[in-house]
Amino acid sequence: MNKYLFIFLNALPIILMIALIPGVSNDYLLAALYIVVILGSFKIHYEQKEVLVFLFGFGVMIVSEYFFVMTGVEVFARHSLLGIMPLWLPFLWGYSFVAMKRALGALAI
């Protein structure tokens, strides 16, 4: 498969998740939809240890976003996780780390 097509196809779940944000106001429902998208993506294509990449991105971005919010760099309208950020955001970041890992692998960087 063409590496650019591969990268685009791996970005589609992220595009879908971002597109869902304005249409789904319930953070818990949106997080559940993100889990379905992520599991579906992993079912279609899974590379060794990508769950670890996902969990790393999930955890690191919770901490990073927490500090960004605490320093006033970011402000969220939704506060369903830790009272400061949307519950669905770490899921989006976690899968973004997976997509970045795949893209870098395809580009052989």
Give the pLDDT confidence of 48-105 residue by residue, as tens digits.
999 999 999 999 999 999 999 999 888 998 989 988 999 999 999 999 999 999 999 9
Structure-token match 């970041």, residue found: 93
Backbone angles phi, psi at 81, to 5 degrees: -120, 120
pLDDT value at position 100?
A: 96
The average pLDDT across 13-40 equals 97
* Gap between the Cα atoms of 51 and 6, Å rounded: 19
Say what the pTM is.
0.92
DSSP 8-state code for residue 77:
S
User: What's the number of domains the chain is made of?
Assistant: 1
CB 96 within 8 A of CB 54: no
Q: Tell me the residue range of the domain where 76 lies.
A: 3-107
What is the dihedral angle through the alpha carbons of 15, 60, 81, 68, rounded to the nearest 10 degrees? -90
